[in-house]
Amino acid sequence: MEERTILTEKSYKTVYRDGNVVIKEFAASHPKSNVFNEAYIHSVAEEAGVPVPAVLGVEPRNGGWAIRMEYINGKTFGDLMKEQPEKEDELLEKFIDIQIEVEGRRTPKLRNTRYKMAEIINGLSEIDASTRYELLQRLHGMKRHTKLCHGDFVPSNVVIREDGSYCILDWAHATSGNAGADAAFSYLRLTLDNPELAEKYLRLYSRKADMPIQYIQQWMPIVAAAHLVKHSGSERELLEQWISVAEYQ
């Protein structure tokens, strides 16, 4: 019998620890190509020199597929912010420094953010054709870059070890593109969980990356649309409000 500790459980995946290894096991219904694609992107980040858990393999498990990786001993920024709320500002600053450091890398090997987003927006049946058109126009007007964008840069995806070094998890959504989109996504996710922290994030990211807040905000309707499918209820209402900004400009 394996010594397993479940780290997180969702309808389509279970992440658990087994000694020095983490196994991210997907349900049988989850496409095999998505699992291999996540392991591929994760390996690209590893080869680019980003501190990530080493990918150890992709293997069949319980009828589906699983990614095996190194276990990183430490705490996520999410854990630390909960444990030490008085240190929130300091932690946020470090979190942003890491994001900017990652975005400083070029990764032409990954899919471009704009193509991925355009495909998602084109496929959104819940948004009418005119709004989709406005969103795509806006997307095409954005500057083209090939920066490494993690695509899900949130406090629960960055682990800090005891010696202060960091390691970034969860590479399924990484692309090569414009860092404004990456920051807009982090802002969006933080707003859904903790609006006050999100506003601090936006101001501090803008200052540290020397990127105008307006520029990040221009990405908001696009990024909100690209994540609409994953949300329901009040979160969905908020995303719809952000998307509607694009309709009247």
Ligand X SMILES: Nc1ncnc2c1ncn2[C@@H]1O[C@H](COP(=O)(O)OP(=O)(O)OP(=O)(O)O)[C@@H](O)[C@H]1O
Rounded Cα–Cα distance for residues 46 and 109 (Å): 12
Residue 109: phi and psi, rounded to 5, are: -70, -20
User: Judged by CB, which is closer to Mg ion: 77, or 242?
Assistant: 77
Closest of 78, 57, 71, 80 to residue 15, by C-alpha: 71
| Closer residue to Mg ion in complex, CB, 135/168 | 168
Q: How far apart are CA 155 and CA 203, in angstroms?
A: 17
**CA dist., res. 156 & res. 80, Å (int):** 10
Count of residues of this chain found to bind Mg ion when the rule CB under 5 A is applied: 2
Please state, in angstroms and rounded to a whole number, the distance separating the CA atoms of residues 167 and 5: 20
Contact characters 164-193, Mg ion, x per CB under 5 A? ------x-----------------------
Q: Which stretch binds ligand X (CB under 6 A): 116-124, 152-160, 194-202, 238-246?
A: 152-160
Stretches 84-92, 127-135, 153-161, 203-211: which one binds ligand X (CB under 6 A)? 153-161
Query: Residue 22 touches which of Mg ion, ligand X, none (CB < 5 to 8 A by kind)?
Result: ligand X
Contacting ligand X (CB under 6 A), which of 92, 121, 159, 179?
159
Contact call for residue 67 and ligand X (CB under 6 A): no
Backbone angles phi, psi at 179, to 5 degrees: -60, -25
Please pick, from the candidates 99, 107, 131, 157, the single residue that binds ligand X as defined by CB under 6 A.
157
For position 148 contacting ligand X by CB under 6 A, the verdict is: no
Q: Which is nearer to ligand X, 138 or 227 (CB)?
A: 227
38 makes contact with Mg ion (CB under 5 A): no
Residue 201 has which token pair?
Answer: 């994030």
**Dist CA 115 CA 140 (whole Å):** 10
Q: What residue 71 binds from Mg ion, ligand X, none (CB within 5 to 8 A, per partner kind)?
A: ligand X
Pick the binder of ligand X from 26, 45, 50, 53 (CB under 6 A). Answer: 53
Q: Which residues have CB under 8 Å from 213's CB, separation 6+?
A: 202, 203, 206
Residues 128-157 vs Mg ion: string with x where CB under 5 A? -----------------------------x
Q: How far is the CB of 172 from Mg ion (least distance, A)?
A: 9
Q: Which of 25, 19, 247, 216 is nearest to 136 (CA)?
A: 247
Give yes or no for residue 76 binding Mg ion (CB under 5 A). Answer: no
Q: List residues binding ligand X (CB under 6 A).
A: 7-8, 10, 15, 22, 24, 53, 69-72, 76, 156-157, 159, 169-170
